[in-house]
Each structure stands twice: as structure tokens, then as C-alpha cells.
Amino acid sequence: MATVYAVDGSTRTVEPKNGKDFKLRELQEIVEGYIQVIYLTPGADKEVADEGPVVAAQAPGWGKTEGTKPRKIMVINEMGKMEGLARNEKATRIFQASFPGTRDFIVGPALVCDSEQVL
């Protein structure tokens, strides 16, 4: 299961069209352009509330570790800031939970899913 975070604060659950993994065109449609993948700190998408402080999760690692769940990733529009897309507050909170202290932010729609869903 994957979640799309829209700039208006709404979310929706999506599944890959083939039921297994998202293809490039699907990802580009969701984020409205070229894609960029960000590996999230485990638990970052679960620990971010709508309000309140951003909570930093565990230390980051890449990909899938033997015997653990797949790593969560965020797929965003690579050119979103240059294209003037609106700031995405919920996606930014998830991003900042993974990268404490950053002032960077996410714009445009963002997809959060398991790393295994994007090949």
C-alpha cells in the first residue's frame, strides 16, 4: 500500500496498476513530472502527526536489511521547486523527520511507499 500526499493536505491510498510495483510512467503521473527518490528513516511516515513537533525516527539506512520490512521511500517531482509547485506541508514533515535539522522542504504531490514497490 502506498500513500499520495497532496499539497492541499489530503491523502489517498494507491496501488501499482500491475499490483506489484510502480512503473516510471505511473510515478511521473503521480508527482506530475520527473521523479526523485528519497530514502526515509524507518518510521518517519508513522511518527509525523498533523500538528505538533516533527519527531526524528531511527538512524537512516538504505534499501532492505535482511529479515526486516522494506524501507520506505518518498517519490517527489525532481523539478518541482524550479517549476514553482506549491509547498507540501505533510510531505515536508515526513521528510524533515527523516532529516532532522534540515530547512529543505517538499513541493508538489509526494508518494510514500515501500522501496520494493519501485524498481
Which phi and psi angles does 45 have, rounded to 5°? -70, -20
81-104 per-position pLDDT tens digit: 999 999 999 999 999 999 999 999
Whether the Cβ atoms of residue 81 and residue 98 lie closer than 8 Å to each other: no
Q: Closest by alpha carbon to 77, among 16, 36, 22, 118?
A: 36
90 vs 56 pLDDT, higher one: 90
Which three cell numbers, joined as nine digits, stand for 57? 525516527
Annotate the chain with DSSP letters as a single string: -EEEE-TTS-EEEE--TTSS-B-HHHHHHHHTSSEEEEEPPTTHHHH--SSS-----SPP--S--TTSPPPEEEEEETTTTTTTPPB-HHHHHHHHHHSTT-----BS-EEEEEGGGB-
The pTM (predicted TM-score) of the whole model is 0.83
Specify the higher pLDDT residue, 61 or 10: 10
Q: Which amino acid is located at 58 in the chain? A: Q
Q: How far, in Å, CA of 3 to CA of 101, rounded?
A: 25
The pLDDT of 39-61, averaged and rounded, is 63
